[in-house]
């Protein structure tokens, strides 16, 4: 499997470099679990200044409500209620319970190498019949020269459909941790051992690559523009979540009656 590394000042710039590298250099390999081919490489994506503008690319599935909801899922656990009702876990459920250790450890020793969140639960994620083991494996926080750096490892990452939203939300988590600790933001590194695009999305990957190559206006500033759009979508997101909760509760009660 080909090893590729890209580095850039902002998240969209790094993501665009990663997309182009996958499109141009990724190898087409079988993906039997999903009955199709995939284009794949191993990717390390460094974002030197995670809060640098522009912070949002147009090249991701969905729009500002989807990005806002995903951030709220990861940071605030708005879909944690689905655990036990079709879901075994959320990223938030596994991250949040370990954050107190991260804060305590980095306050104890700001130079620590022990501030690691293990998202993978190997006994659960490798149990027979588990079809959705966590893609996010672990996160490691470092404070160096007064700045908080975050390094993330994904075992598997869907390049055109998931990577940008993953990285954007993880950077928002990094910002929350940095603010809580009272330190500045450092770099963000996103490592995907399998950085891939499924065959069904080959046309999407090509379209992304063509947009990047043509230098179209494909980025938005977050502060002063996209942030406002995202925040305006929160009431509708919360309304949708309440309906999901109601449906989930009703489904659970019906199952209990059937027993």
pLDDT in tens, 113-165: 999 999 998 777 777 776 678 999 999 999 999 999 999 999 999 999 999 99
Which DSSP string do the residues of the chain spell out, in sequence order? --EEEEEESSHHHHHHHHHHHHHHHPEEEEEGGGTEEEEEEEEEEEESSTTPSP-EES-SSS-HHHHHHHHHHHHH-TTGGGBTTTBS--HHHHHHTTHHHHHHHHHH-TT-S--EEE---HHHHTSTT-----SEEEEEEEEETTEEEEEEEES-EEIIIIIHHHHHHHHHHHHHHHHHHT-EEEEEEEEEEEEEEEGGGHHHHHHHHHHHHTT---EE-IIIIIHHHHHHTHHHHHHHHHHHHHHHHHHHHHHHHH-
Q: How confident is the model at residue 252 (pLDDT cuts 50, 70, 90)?
A: low
pLDDT number for residue 255: 47
Name the CATH topology of 3-232: Thymidylate Synthase; Chain A (3.30.572)
Confidence of residue 249 (pLDDT cuts 50, 70, 90): low
Task: Please state the length of the chain.
Answer: 259
Give the model's pLDDT for residue 77: 97
Task: Record the pTM.
Answer: 0.94
**Using CA atoms, how far apart are residues 165 and 158, in angstroms rounded to an integer?**
11
CA 177 from chain centre, in angstroms, equals: 16
Contact (Cβ atoms closer than 8 angstroms) between residue 18 and residue 60: no
Query: What tokens appear for 19 in the block?
Result: 């997309």
Predicted local confidence at residue 133, as pLDDT:
87
- pLDDT tens for 17-53 read 999 999 999 999 999 999 999 999 999 999 999 999 9
Nearest by Cα to 142 from 87, 86, 183, 93: 183
pLDDT at 219: 97
Query: With bands split at pLDDT 50, 70 and 90, how would you rate the model's confidence at 254?
Result: low
Task: Specify the pLDDT at position 103.
Answer: 98
Cis peptide before 54 (omega within 30 of 0): yes
Residue 73 pLDDT greater than 80, yes or no: yes
pLDDT for the residue numbered 181: 98
Q: Is the pLDDT of residue 104 over 70?
A: yes
Distance of CA 151 to the CA centre of its chain: 12
pLDDT digits (tens, 9 = 90+) for 164-199: 999 999 999 999 999 999 999 999 999 999 999 999
pLDDT at residue 251 in the model: 56
């Amino acid at each position: 499997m080909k090893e590729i590394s890209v580095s850039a000042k902002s998240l969209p710039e790094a993501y665009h470099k990663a997309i182009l590298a996958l499109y141009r250099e990724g190898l087409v390999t079988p993906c039997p679990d999903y009955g199709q081919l995939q284009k794949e490489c191993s990717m390390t994506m460094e974002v030197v200044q995670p809060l640098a503008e522009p912070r949002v690319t147009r090249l991701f599935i969905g729009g500002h409500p989807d990005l806002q909801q995903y951030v709220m899922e990861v940071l605030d656990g708005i879909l944690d209620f689905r655990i036990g009702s079709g879901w075994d876990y959320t990223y938030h459920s596994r991250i949040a319970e370990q954050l107190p250790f991260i804060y305590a450890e980095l306050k104890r020793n700001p130079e620590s190498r022990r501030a690691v969140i293990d998202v993978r639960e190997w006994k659960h994620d490798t149990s027979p019949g588990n079809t959705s083991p966590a893609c996010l494996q672990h996160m490691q926080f470092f404070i160096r020269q007064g700045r908080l750096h975050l390094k993330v490892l994904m075992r598997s990452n869907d390049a055109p459909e998931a990577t940008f939203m993953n990285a954007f939300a993880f950077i928002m988590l990094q910002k929350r941790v940095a603010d809580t600790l009272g330190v500045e933001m450092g770099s963000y590194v996103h490592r995907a051992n399998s950085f891939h695009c499924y065959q069904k999305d080959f046309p999407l990957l090509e379209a992304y690559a063509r947009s990047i190559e043509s230098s179209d206006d494909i980025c938005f500033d977050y502060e002063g523009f996209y942030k406002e759009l995202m925040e305006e979508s929160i009431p509708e997101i919360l309304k949708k979540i309440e309906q999901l909760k109601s449906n989930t509760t009703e489904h659970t009660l019906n199952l209990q009656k059937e027993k």
